[in-house]
Amino acid sequence: MTDPGFEPAAADPVAGVRLHPLTPFARGWAAMVGATVVLGQDAVRNADLLQVVLILVAVVAVGLLAGLWTWWFTKYVVDGDDLRVDTGLLFRRTRHIRLSRLQAIDVVQPLVARILGLAELRLEVAGGGAAEGRLAYLAEDKATALRAELLARAAGVRPDAPTAPEDLLVRVPVSAVITSLLLSIWVPLVLIGTTALVVIAIALREPAVIFPAAPVVLAFGTLAWRQLEGAFDFTVAESPDGLRLRHGLLARRSQTVPPGRVQALRIVQPYLWRHRDWVRVQINVAGYAGGGETAQQQTSTLLPVAPRATALAVIGRILPGVDPAAVPLHPAPRRAGRARPIWWRGLAWGADESVFVATKGLIRRQLDVVPHGKTQSVRLTQGPWQRRLGLATMRLDTTPGPVQVEVPHRVVAEARELTETQAARARAGRRGAGPERWMIGTFPDSASGGTPPTG
């Protein structure tokens, strides 16, 4: 008989699901290789093959045992509106990730994971850190299915809703990516400089002349590789839940960008791209919590390179009916030339009923676009030299990302009026803004538990 003042504790409905059994190797192979190299240096110098093999076996055995120990006590379970992740043996840790606060879910496949048929889910949560939610690793098909379920729950629809269909919009050719790198100003400079050093070294018969330039060449080579790897096989597809971006040479990344999450965008055109009329498009996406410059570049590129017409067509999927290039511009006053000689001619701003735009750059042209409803704050700043010249700078704040919009070196009276006017536009834009959650408004019954497809 149960005491009427107490109720029996409810049993845990789900014990949890473990990650893929190959997770320890996929996560720890680099550490194993590093430990083997460090511990096996003497054996390699002594050409002792048996010792090298024994060290390798020992390192792999210890690494796999430690990884298996961690893997065994790591479980996850989808419990209503929460994703619960349990980790640890001596010190147990349980994280509850509220699916209603999900901003994005990316599917990432590093090289080793791709070889093993595994994938990692990275969950971006409002107010969370860069590593707020990670499930590494799952079988690739299971990761895709779990992602669809989590997004469906986040949207308030049936968890077993089918995956949304998609239409391919753009596939960036590899030849265009390579050509765009070769047409970047710094690449020809590095190639010319390296060739000149090699010629001088051969002429003087002094190979040491090349050594001081090696770190510079290595740094630029690493930069070029990152850009090539990140833009390789870049595709943009459209689905009911947003634009799906896939890219990567060794490590593949699948990202879905709901149009409502895009807070600002930037159209960039380097000088050597002009004769082909190519541009690059970057975006600020709400919810992505930093992670360094490389991670930001991976999550903020909408198009690495594309003809302007193609780029504007894709932008039109995010900002329907908006043509950023058609917004009338107001150039900077001649007085701005005293604060920024020569380059002041590239400064301008403009606004229409939907967006605010700002331009800068003469050699590398740049057009920043912010929908009025996405403006979080407007600031007026004035440095000492600006005060002497009677100038000021107006800045528009959005979510963190590569796009930082400012209108520098305007006459103070104009800057103040522009600040007040844009603040009013932002308030009006927010009142008329559409929903930002996954698929809300895309389907008539998506907010009431209907059955729209999810991605």
pLDDT digits (tens, 9 = 90+) for 20-72: 888 887 887 666 666 666 666 665 566 666 766 776 777 777 777 777 777 88
Helix, strand, coil distribution of the chain in percent, nearest 5 = 45, 30, 30
The number of C-alpha atoms within 13 Å of 218 and in the hemisphere containing its C-beta is 6
Position 216 scores a pLDDT of 74
Higher pLDDT, 291 or 141: 141
259 with 242: CB under 8 angstroms?
yes
Position 442 scores a pLDDT of 42
CB burial of residue 18 (10 Å; 0-12, 13-18, 19+): middle
User: Which among 254, 236, 263 is positioned nearest to 319, based on CA atoms?
Assistant: 263
pLDDT in tens, 267-284: 999 999 999 999 999 999
Residue range 17-155, CATH number:
2.30.29
Does the pLDDT at position 218 exceed 60? yes
Average pLDDT over residues 259-265: 89
Distance of CA 343 to the CA centre of its chain: 30
Does the pLDDT at position 352 exceed 70? yes
Domain regions of the chain by residue span: 17-155, 164-256, 258-433
Interior/surface letters 130-142, b for 16+ CB within 10 angstroms, e for the rest: eebbebbbbbbeb
pLDDT in tens, 398-451: 888 889 999 999 999 999 999 999 999 999 988 876 655 544 444 334 433 333
Q: Which tokens is 244 given?
A: 């799906």
Distance CA 147, CA 151 (A): 6
Position 30 scores a pLDDT of 65
The pTM score is 0.80
Higher pLDDT, 179 or 73: 179
Percent of the residues in the chain that have a pLDDT greater than 90, as a whole number:
40
Higher pLDDT, 31 or 289: 31
Q: Which pLDDT band holds residue 162 (cuts at 50, 70, 90)? A: low
Distance CA 203, CA 225 (A): 31
Does the pLDDT at position 362 exceed 80? yes
Q: Compute the residue count for the chain.
A: 455
